[in-house]
A and B are shown apart, each in its own frame.
Chain A
Amino acid sequence: KQEVTQIPAALSVPEGENLVLNCSFTDSAIYNLQWFRQDPGKGLTSLLLIQSSQREQTSGRLNASLDKSSGRSTLYIAASQPGDSATYLCAVLVDYKLSFGAGTTVTVRA
């Protein structure tokens, strides 16, 4: 059974600081890994998708890395802003099954 863990569960930083969010998974035979953002009371918005053959993916201030052999991914958000406050979730796809971590709730203080 695939276990996906996100540490820390919550994070509070001052505006401008870089954010580092971690995701680990137990079964390295993943097809891809996806990072999502969720605002309170809303659905999930896809941020980045990393295929299993890729090492990283970038979009604007966001950069996600993937080390499949060690079962780890890291999401970096540069120069954080109050608008980055949200819950960030990672999910891995194995055998058509998409499994989630519990998320990291981020607060960026102005």
Chain B
Amino acid sequence: NAGVTQTPKFQVLKTGQSMTLQCAQDMNHNSMYWYRQDPGMGLRLIYYSASEGTTDKGEVPNGYNVSRLNKREFSLRLESAAPSQTSVYFCASSGQGAGNTEAFFGQGTRLTVV
């Protein structure tokens, strides 16, 4: 049972570089999410997708773009990385409908922007 898989696990970027964080789930979930976690601030929602083909902004979307490539995959792109984007990024997925809404998380991507 792979669950939610994120790649890469660690990344160091220079200011201004771009990169894409990948996320895939094998639980046939409709909803997928991207969060960032910073010390003392909990998890803040960047973007979410309630179904294939739809995406919505969360609390902190500036500087990020997302793509819901298909039902399984939801990627997060940093077009021009900034030191303020140094964080741990988590992807999550959940089902919809009665008895199927439990959310599951990936192991995270630790990103440092220098």
Contact = CB atoms under 8 A, between A and B. Distances in A.
Main SS at interface, chain A: strand
Contact of A93 (B42, B44, B101, B105): B101
A31 B43 CA distance: 19
For this complex, into which size category does the number of interface residues on chain B fall? 20 to 34
Interface centre among A32, A42, A46, A96 (most CB of B within 10 A): A96
Given A43-B106, A96-B31, A96-B96, 18 more contacts: A31-B101, A34-B102, A36-B105, A42-B108, A43-B105, A44-B92, A44-B105, A46-B103, A51-B98, A89-B43, A91-B43, A93-B103, A96-B48, A97-B45, A98-B45, A98-B103, A100-B44, A102-B42
Interface of B: 31, 33, 35, 40-45, 48, 50, 56, 58, 90, 92, 94, 96, 98, 101-108
